[in-house]
Every structure is written in structure tokens, then in C-alpha cells.
């Protein structure tokens, strides 16, 4: 991933140094396991632990000859250890034993960072949800005024969605936290199962049955969790983009006045560029998931059609998912909220957002639902045409006044009553938080 969309704590897990370092730990532990079995001399295993090392440039130079990265790596490590002890490095193993187990170690560490970032985002959104719990605003469906809600409810639902992302990440971590050291085609023909158990146990991984490679549905599940993180953040960012439009201006992403510039040409602009950036990156995460699903089908016990793809999409997806989680948290924590503007927009549709309470009041007073609906709809259309308060138009309709008393009609337009039950959402939010 390009530095623009990378954060060092994640990208450091996928450098060449980190990758070869993970390979080396697998190789050292395997040698020690063989020593436990009495196959490798104890002093040789000690020498491997003490002297094994590598130089990235040396591996790359050696690969020009071998045209095989693991073989080049083993050659360099064996040279560092020296003979005869170095001979035992990679004993009984096939390349995928090292590569797949080490990759799982890297991805497990990456998943830990993703989980921490998602939990932190949940906490940030939850704090803001409680801050704006009773801040009324218009709810919109199809982009059209529907009924009143609160900004806190909107945020609470975001938090609950992020918690589902956390659970998906945790499940994906469990699925990918596995290793295999079962040799060519996975039959343990040249590797004692103890070696696999020993290595995986020391790395915090579970040993699992496999062919020559770990099944790639595991990696696809992690990519799916990353993609759903992107999709969630995209949904939230899209909402902020809509609410920041000039016509609404209910919420704005953070903007450093006096330093930040919204446009190179128009000084008045405060564009939702951060939210737009995250919306775009979510598309990359979804694209990577598609490639990851293509990787699941391999020939027989293995091929390497997945390998070149994974070198790109796994580090990139982890980096991007982490980036969007961290950056959206900064948006949530620093966003500008305009409650007065929310009320202005709520009132801009002349009170039509209370059409359903009027409908229900008519039904409660004995009108058929279809008849009541047509009466209310007729008056709603007149309200739009005349651009007058809905309640005034209703008071002029005999079909309304003969059914509802003035007090009953007025009660239909009670904003506090409309949002009185938002506490139910917060009961779920707080109960889920306690469970977490």
C-alpha cells in the first residue's frame, strides 16, 4: 500500500524484514522441535537459535540465482549458521510449511491491530451517541423527509454495526491463527506431527490439517472482515457527506480553519474530503475480497496461483482496513454538529413529518385506514403546494375537524413525543457494551 494510505504500526508487520523474520522463527522452532525428538543434535539446535539470521539484500541477490524465494532464504540462513549445524535448517519441511505458518503469524498480529482499532472506533461513536442522544433531527428515507429521529440514535446504530465488525474480525482472527508443518502434500511423510504442534504452540497458532498449503477460505474470511469494515465506514462516511451538503449543513467533518484549504480556487469551500477518501478506499477493499475468493480454488494439493495475489491483497487490505478505522475515528471525534440547523431542516417541510401520527389518530377515532390515509395525503399535497404549516391546512379540512378535537390534532405534532422512545436503542447499545 502506498504511504498515503498506510499507518506505520500496521505496515511494519508486512515489510521484507518482518516477513523473513517470521520465516526465520518458524525455521528455528522447527529445528528445536527436531532436537526434542532426538533427530537434530541439541548443540546444532542451539547454534541455529544463536547464529541464524539473514540480510534482505543477500536473499534478493541469491533469489536471482535460485528463482525461488524460500530456497534463497534457506541458503542465506544456512550460511549464517555455518556448517555442519546449518544443514539442519529447513529439515523435513516444504516451502509452504514455512510461508503459510509465518503468514498466519503476520495476519494474526494484523488482526489484533484491526480489532483494537475497531473497538476504539466503537468507543468514540458511543460517546458521541450519548452526547447527542436527544438532539432531534429529521429522519430521511430515499433522501426525503420521513419522521423525526435524533442524531444520537443515528450514531448508536453506527456503534452497533461497528461491534458486529469487531465480532467478524475476532472470528476471522481465530480462523487465520493456524499453521501447518506437515510436509509436501500434507501427509507428514517426512515431518513428525510433533514438529507441527511444537512450532504452532510456540507461535500461538493452532495446528490444523492441510494439503501442502493452508486452505485459502481462511484468508478469504479475513479479507471479508476487512471489506465489511470498509463497507461500514463507507456507510457512515456517506451519511456525513450528505449531511455536510450546503442545503443541509447539519454535520461537518473536522476542518482546521486558517490552515486547511477546501479548494485551491474557492476559499469558502469546506468539502467532505476525508469522508470521500474513505468511501473510495472501501471500493479497494471490496475488490481485494473478490481476488481473495478467487484464490480459494487451487489445483489438487497446491499450486501457487494464489501467491502473487496474496503478496498484494493481504498486506494492502490489512493496511487499508486499519487506515479507515483510525481515520474515521478522528472524524467522529472532531466532527462539527449543528443542532439548530437540524431543527431548521426538520421544520422546513412544514410539519409533514407528523403525517403518520395524524393518520393513526384518525384510525383510533374510527376512520378506516384507507380513508384516513387519503384524507391526510390530500392535505399533505396541499401543504406542499401552498407552503403553509401542515397543521393549519388540516384545521381547515372538515374531514379532520369533525373527527379530531383541536387538542388531539395538536398532540400529533409533539416533537418530544415523537422521539420519546429513543431510549430503547440506547438500552440495546449499553447492554451490548456491557456484554462486550
**Beta-carbon-side half-sphere exposure of residue 240 (alpha carbons within 13 Å):** 29
Q: Which of 12, 68, 189, 263 is catalytic?
A: 263
Contacting residues for 427 by C-beta, under 8 A, at least 6 apart: none
* Gyration radius of the chain's alpha carbons: 30
In the numeric block, which cell numbers belong to residue 36?
A: 526434542
Beta strand 251-252 with 336-337 is: antiparallel
Ramachandran bin of 233, using left for φ above 0, alpha for ψ from -120 to 50, beta for the remaining angles: alpha
Alpha helix locations (H) across 2-94? 8-11, 16-36, 42-51, 56-66, 69-81
Question: What is the DSSP secondary structure assignment for residue 85, as one 8-state letter?
Answer: G
Q: Catalytic: 232? A: no
DSSP 208-241: ---SSS--THHHHHHHHHHHHHHHHHHHHHHHHH
Q: How far apart are CA 36 and CA 25, in angstroms?
A: 16
Q: How far apart are CA 253 and CA 152, in angstroms?
A: 16
In the numeric block, which cell numbers belong to residue 112?
A: 489484533
Q: Nearest-CA neighbor of 233 among 158, 136, 147? A: 158
From residue 368, alpha-carbon distances to 304, 360, 376, 377, 394 in Å are: 68, 10, 12, 14, 18
Q: How far apart are CA 295 and CA 218, in angstroms?
A: 11
Contact (CB, 8 A) for 245 and 234 = no
Q: Nearest-CA neighbor of 148 among 341, 433, 343? A: 343
- Enumerate helices (H) and strands (E) in the chain, giving the number of each: 19, 6
Contact (CB, 8 A) for 211 and 183 = no
Q: How far apart are CA 338 and CA 344, in angstroms?
A: 10
Q: Grid cell 501447518 — which residue?
A: 180
Instruction: Determine if the peptide bond prior to 84 is cis (ω within 30°).
Output: yes
Supply φ then ψ for residue 302, to 5 degrees: 175, 155
Q: How far apart are CA 196 and CA 30, in angstroms?
A: 8
Q: Which of 142, 264, 268, 300 is catalytic?
A: 142
Q: Catalytic: 206? A: no
Query: Which residues does the annotation mark as catalytic?
Result: 142, 263
Amino acid at each position: 500500500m502506498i504511504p498515503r494510505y498506510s499507518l506505520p504500526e500496521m505496515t511494519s508487520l508486512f515489510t521484507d524484514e518482518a516477513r523473513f523474520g517470521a520465516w526465520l522463527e518458524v525455521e528455528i522452532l522447527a529445528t528445536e522441535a527436531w532436537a526434542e525428538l532426538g533427530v537434530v543434535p541439541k548443540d546444532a539446535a542451539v547454534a541455529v537459535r544463536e547464529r541464524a539470521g539473514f540480510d534482505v539484500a543477500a536473499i534478493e541477490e541469491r533469489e536471482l540465482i535460485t528463482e525461488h524465494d524460500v530456497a534463497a532464504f534457506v541458503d542465506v540462513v544456512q550460511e549464517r549458521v555455518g556448517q555442519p549445524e546449518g544443514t539442519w535448517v529447513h529439515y523435513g519441511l516444504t516451502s509452504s510449511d514455512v510461508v503459510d505458518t509465518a503468514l498466519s503469524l503476520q495476519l494474526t498480529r494484523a488482526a489484533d491491530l484491526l480489532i483494537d482499532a475497531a473497538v476504539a472506533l466503537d468507543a468514540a461513536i458511543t460517546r458521541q451517541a450519548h452526547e447527542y442522544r436527544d438532539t432531534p433531527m429529521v429522519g430521511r428515507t430515499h433522501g426525503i423527509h420521513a419522521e423525526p429521529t435524533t442524531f444520537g440514535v443515528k450514531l448508536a446504530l453506527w456503534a452497533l454495526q461497528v461491534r458486529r465488525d469487531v465480532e467478524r474480525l475476532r472470528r476471522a482472527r481465530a480462523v487465520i491463527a493456524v499453521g501447518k508443518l506437515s510436509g509436501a502434500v500434507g501427509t507428514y511423510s517426512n515431518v513428525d506431527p510433533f514438529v507441527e504442534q511444537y512450532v504452532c504452540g510456540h507461535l500461538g497458532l493452532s495446528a490444523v490439517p492441510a494439503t501442502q498449503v493452508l486452505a485459502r477460505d481462511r484468508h478469504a474470511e479475513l479479507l471479508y472482515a476487512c471489506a465489511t469494515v470498509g463497507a461500514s465506514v463507507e456507510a457512515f462516511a456517506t451519511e456525513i457527506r450528505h449531511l455536510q451538503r450546503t442545503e443541509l449543513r447539519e454535520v461537518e467533518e473536522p476542518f482546521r480553519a486558517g490552515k486547511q484549504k477546501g479548494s485551491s480556487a474557492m476559499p469558502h469551500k469546506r468539502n467532505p474530503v476525508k469522508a470521500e477518501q474513505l468511501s473510495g478506499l472501501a471500493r479497494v477493499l471490496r475488490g481485494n475480497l473478490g481476488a481473495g475468493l478467487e484464490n480459494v480454488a487451487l489445483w489438487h494439493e497446491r499450486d501457487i496461483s494464489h501467491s502473487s495475489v496474496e503478496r498484494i491483497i493481504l498486506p494492502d487490505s490489512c493496511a487499508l482496513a486499519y487506515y479507515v478505522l483510525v481515520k474515521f475515528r478522528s472524524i467522529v471525534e472532531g466532527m462539527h454538529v449543528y443542532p439548530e440547523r437540524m431543527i431548521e431542516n426538520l421544520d422546513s417541510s412544514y410539519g409533514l413529518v407528523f403525517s403518520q401520527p395524524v393518520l393513526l389518530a384518525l384510525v383510533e377515532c374510527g376512520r378506516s385506514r384507507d380513508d384516513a390515509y387519503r384524507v391526510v395525503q390530500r392535505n399533505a399535497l396541499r401543504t406542499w403546494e401552498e407552503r403553509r404549516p401542515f397543521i393549519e391546512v388540516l384545521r381547515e379540512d372538515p374531514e379532520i375537524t369533525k373527527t379530531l378535537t383541536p387538542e388531539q390534532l395538536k398532540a400529533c405534532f409533539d416533537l418530544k413525543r415523537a422521539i420519546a422512545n429513543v431510549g430503547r436503542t440506547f438500552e440495546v447499545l449499553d447492554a451490548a457494551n456491557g456484554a462486550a
